[in-house]
Amino acid sequence: MDADSNSPAYWRGGQLHLINSTGISLLTVAANQFYLWEGETEFVSIVPGDNLPAWIESVHLEDEDTLWAWYHNEPGGLCPGNHLTAPRIGALVSYDGGRTYRDLGIVLESGDPLDCGAANGYFAGGHGDFSVIVQDGYFYFLFGNYGGADQGVATARMAWADREAPAGRVWKYRAGEWSEPGLGGKVTSVFPATVPWGRPNTDSFWGPSIHWNHYLERYVVLMTRSCCAPQWPSEGIYAAFADDLSDPGGWSKPQRILTPAQTGFGPVWYPQVLGLDYGETDTYAGRVARLYIKGVSHWEVEFAP
């Protein structure tokens, strides 16, 4: 199913639930990922609608009805004379298993000045294209930072206890500490851009999708590397590994696992896995999983120690 963002999944009532977003979000319910084409699909609603359009990119099911979710939002009208935007990240909660959501507000937003002359074709700055996962009482965010002095893929976290009122309670990682406010604070990128997003020859990782791999007993992040021309051309899909998300310096060096030529189509955006077994999702997978790009899968990926 074609998608314009990461596509989060969760199991509820013995069935797989998958969200695809293209500025609006669709929920598909099926027996498993191999039957999504014949599953039941419906639009989800977000109230209030102050931060639309919204791309729901990550979820966490707390119980059978309570679903925490996070979205990428692209406000308009920021740069007179062009359509450049600066994304930001907001939080949602659903009490009916993911069909309707209440907007809890923006939780991650850049404080860096806009670059309305940016040559990447989409963004003048901002935070977006992200994923979220839980570890040891925290929600950890991996997100793209598209402006300022430290561009690339950055990280932030929020305490589990703050999930009901998250605005102002997310803290960005900078210079060894989780001390910068989610709204306006600075970052130290985990995977720094080699060439910033404002230049026409951008060279940077983006679109991280993180999962806990119970076979490896490590975290795995998949990312696209954009290089080295406007309009975000894809150089390849990369993987990196970590043992502890509280130590952002512990990520391994990203290694390329797939090129656009190997896929047979393009652009190769939004790589993610879906685990094969019952209970496995885009954030929890094992030795073998399906590899998806923009919501489409033609591959399995096998992880080795």
pLDDT, tens digit, 9 for 90 and up, residues 274-299: 999 999 999 999 999 999 999 999 99
Residue 265's pLDDT band, with cuts at 50, 70 and 90, is confident
pLDDT, tens digit, 9 for 90 and up, residues 103-161: 999 999 999 999 999 999 999 999 999 999 999 999 999 999 999 999 999 999 999 99
pLDDT score, position 1: 63
Q: Which helix (H) or strand (E) holds 171?
A: strand 170-174
pLDDT score, position 77: 96
Asked which of 124-133, 198-207, 258-267 is least confident by mean pLDDT, the reply is 258-267
Arithmetic mean of pLDDT, 222-238 = 94
pLDDT score, position 230: 87
pLDDT of residue 168 exceeding 90, the answer is yes
- 35's tokens: 């039957």
Amino acid letter, residue 255 = Q
Distance CA 97, CA 69 (A): 11
- 9's tokens: 């999944």
pLDDT score, position 305: 87
pLDDT score, position 19: 98
- 138's tokens: 């925290």
Distance CA 110, CA 89 (A): 10
The residue written with tokens 């929020």 in the block is 158
Q: Which fold has domain 9-302?
A: Tachylectin-2; Chain A (2.115.10)
Write down the domain spans for the chain: 9-302
Q: Are strands 9-12 and 271-275 parallel, antiparallel or unpaired?
A: unpaired
29-55: b or e for each residue (b if 16 or more CB lie within 10 Å)? bbeebeebeebeeeebebeeeebebbb
Instruction: Report residue 107: phi and psi, to 5°.
Output: -120, -20
Give bridge partners of residue 103 from the DSSP assignment: 92
Residue 164's pLDDT band, with cuts at 50, 70 and 90, is very high
pLDDT score, position 277: 97
Percentage of the chain beyond pLDDT 90 is 94
Complete DSSP assignment for 232-260: --EEEEEEEEES-TT-GGGPPPPEEEE-H
Q: Which helix (H) or strand (E) holds 262?
A: helix 260-263
Mark out the alpha helices in 46-187 (DSSP H runs). none
pLDDT of residue 71 exceeding 90, the answer is yes
